[in-house]
């Protein structure tokens, strides 16, 4: 209907949060027609460091869901590893310092491990919003019969945190799930 009137559409979700929005380095995941993408790409490049056409309409949204899976599972892995190391007698700061320069290092780890060690869960991206996104992942996976056991595990952890009143915390508060299991807080 819109196309008949000369109106085109694209989906273009972003990743990077407020800090990357402020400094113009967002990652755009775009879905739509190639010719429309070429027209809007210069505008998106003013706001983002990465602008990728992922496929037709909807592909940007699917890619954003995939992004949220990687972020959620990465945060849970960082929390689990940091707590394991601390319980085995290694200082979390040393674990972070040693791992961040290797293959396991990541943007997520660099952003979230210090928050975990500081017990600073001031929201950047809230747990309740990540739950919403992961529920959308579950729906998409169900529609395409795609297995997502890691995502489902992390989603359950987040739901427990929501039940315990932590839904407005930053998603780095996933470490609280492990802290409750061990009755020990991650520290510097």
Longest CA span, the chain: 66
179 and 185 in contact (C-beta within 8 Å)? yes
d(CA 57, CA 9): 8
54: its two tokens: 């992922």
- Helix H segments across 3-58? 17-22, 34-47
d(CA 24, CA 13): 14
Q: Specify the 3-state DSSP secondary structure of 96.
A: helix
Of 64, 94, 159, 176, the catalytic one is 64
Phi, psi of 26, rounded to the nearest 5 degrees: -60, 160
What single string gives the DSSP state of each residue in 7-18? ----B--EESHH
Q: Is 41 designated active site?
A: no
Element (H, E) at 116: helix 107-118
d(CA 167, CA 105): 27
Positions marked active-site: 64
């Amino acid at each position: 209907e819109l196309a008949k009137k000369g109106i085109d559409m694209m989906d273009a979700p972003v990743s990077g949060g407020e800090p990357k929005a402020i400094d113009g380095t967002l990652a755009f995941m775009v879905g739509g027609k190639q010719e429309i993408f070429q027209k809007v790409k210069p505008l998106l490049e003013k706001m983002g460091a990465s602008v990728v056409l992922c496929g037709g309409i909807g592909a940007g949204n699917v890619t954003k869901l995939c992004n949220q899976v990687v972020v959620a599972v990465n945060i849970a892995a960082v929390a689990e590893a940091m707590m394991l190391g601390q319980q085995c007698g290694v200082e979390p700061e040393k674990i972070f310092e040693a791992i961040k320069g290797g293959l396991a290092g990541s943007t997520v780890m660099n952003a979230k491990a210090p928050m975990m060690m500081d017990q600073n869960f001031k929201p950047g991206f809230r747990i309740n919003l990540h739950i919403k996104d992961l529920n959308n992942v579950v729906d998409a996976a169900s529609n395409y019969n795609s297995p997502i056991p890691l995502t489902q595990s992390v989603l359950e952890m987040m739901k427990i945190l929501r039940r315990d009143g932590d839904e407005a915390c930053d998603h780095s508060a996933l470490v609280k799930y492990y802290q409750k299991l061990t009755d020990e807080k991650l520290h510097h």
